[in-house]
């Protein structure tokens, strides 16, 4: 069995990119649910909200817009963009 050094790093890079995508997807899903006024009593909505809040804990309430929707979009959106950017940057660095 031959061992290829590049193959392992490619797999690790792919995993990092997928994890970053999933994190950004959860945050983006919460933003969408918030904007569409999803039923907060629903278990799925509750799960997505708590997951997004945990993932974006560092950027939640970072901005102080008067409109609540703007705070949600900016605070959570920043976290999603950072996760995508950093995750894919790290994955690209590992690949090369």
Q: Output the pLDDT for position 1.
A: 44
Higher pLDDT, 67 or 4: 67
Nearest to 90 by CA among 5, 30, 2, 12: 12
Mean pLDDT of 14-28: 96
pLDDT above 50 for 16:
yes
What are 47-64's pLDDT values in tens digits? 999 999 999 999 878 888
Question: For the CA atoms of the chain, what is the radius of gyration?
Answer: 17
Enter the tokens of residue 54: 């945990």
What is the overall mean pLDDT for the chain? Answer: 90
């Amino acid at each position: 069995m031959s061992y290829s050094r590049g193959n392992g790093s490619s797999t690790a890079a792919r995993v990092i990119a997928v994890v970053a995508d999933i994190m950004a997807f959860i945050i983006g899903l919460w933003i969408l649910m918030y904007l569409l006024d999803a039923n907060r009593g629903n278990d799925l909505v509750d799960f997505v909200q708590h997951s997004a809040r945990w993932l974006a804990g560092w950027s939640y309430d970072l901005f102080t817009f008067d409109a609540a929707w703007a705070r949600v979009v900016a605070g959570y959106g920043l976290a999603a963009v950072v996760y995508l950017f950093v995750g894919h940057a790290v994955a690209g660095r590992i690949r090369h």
